[in-house]
Amino acid sequence: MRYLVTGPGGFLGRYIVEQLLARGDSVRGFARGEYPELSALGVEMHRGDLGNLADVTKACEGIDCVIHVASKVGVWGRWFDYFRSNIHGTMNVLAACKQQGIERLVFTSSPSVAFAGRDQQGVDESTPYPVRWLSHYPHSKAIAEEMVLTANGEAVAGDRVLRTCALRPHLVWGPRDHHLTARLIERARTGQLRRVGKGTNLVDCIYVENAAEAHLQAADALALPDSPVAGKAYFLSQGEPVNCWDWVDEILALADLPPVEKSVSRRAAYWVGAAMEFGYWATRQFEREPRMMRFLALQLSTHHWYDISAARQDFGYDPTVSTSEGMQRLGDWIQSSDACGMPQPN
């Protein structure tokens, strides 16, 4: 099969590409930059901008299935930037699929689209979108996800029908993670890491290879007649929540760092975040993220773990790599020369 992967050079996108290639599929990557390492693997790279419909349409020529991973991440920045990448970019992907007669689209969403700032324990996909948003990222991803799911069943060129689904992997981690893992280690080494809340909150996470495999499984399931996956969103995780701050301490230990000792209450973190957001907004500091934000304070101090039985039932998702095995692999990577982009001691 011929796959287009947007954001193939990103953390999750790279693993999806590698797994597709490993099983013999043809892969085309769509990204703004050049990735010679992907070309060396046999990926047909197309450079372009998600905000440019002509670029996206050209990249979709001759493709059987699109896995749309690319997005603007983070929880701070201008609404326009999130809109252009996450909403307008997804609109262009949908338009290109329809114009090129592509029948399958897997969209990488986020559990944060259903996070309203309160504890979520064992919730499923019936949880509605919030009515109030504390960050542009989940807001923009929710709009994009809804567009993708609404487009399911719409006609495309060649008298075909587009089938879509959205996957919501939570806290993706593993080797080559220069975002979540790198940020934790950097803040710990600079003395900026604080435990928020009581430190008893349980959260879901997912090892990156499991998240990638779920994308392939969902794409395959979309090809089935009367696919049970079409038009649905799915939470993804390791299947068992972890204590958020014990897990953070385990990651720090892999980098030979001590556990987090200092803490701040949820209420204090929330209002510090509100003050920092106002200060950054007033001074137009959108390129640099505040150390604390309201959304982050709530994410770090509340329970949020999910029922993944729908993914198990509809497309056979089952975490192949256990959390303990994944942590071993992450530790090996952190200690290796391959992790040269990780923050190092002064």
What is the distance between the alpha carbons of residues 193 and 186, in angstroms, rounded to a whole number?
9
β-pairing, 163-169 vs 104-108, is: parallel
SS3 of residue 130 by DSSP: coil
CA Rg value for the chain? 20
- What the block records as the tokens of 117 is 């700032």
Distances (CA, A) of 111 to 68, 253, 308, 329: 16, 27, 12, 25
In whole angstroms, give the CA distance from residue 136 to residue 125: 21
Q: 78: exposed, middle or buried (C-beta count within 10 Å: 0-12, 13-18, 19+)?
A: middle
Distance of alpha carbon 297 from the chain centroid: 19
Beta bridge partners of 323: none
Q: Which of 320, 280, 281, 261 is nearest to 19 (CA)?
A: 320
17/13 Cα distance (integer angstroms)? 6
Among candidate residues 3, 15, 137, 270, the one labeled active-site is 137
- Enumerate residues 6+ apart whose C-beta is below 8 A from 54: none
Name the nearest CA neighbour of 218 among 293, 178, 166: 166
- The residue type found at 158 is G
Task: Give backbone dihedrals phi and psi of 192, rounded to 5 degrees, phi first.
Answer: -100, 0
Q: Is 137 one of the annotated active-site residues of the chain?
A: yes
User: Which helix (H) or strand (E) element contains residue 17?
Assistant: helix 11-22
Reference 71, options 3, 2, 172; nearest CA is: 172
Q: Mind telling me the catalytic residues? A: 137
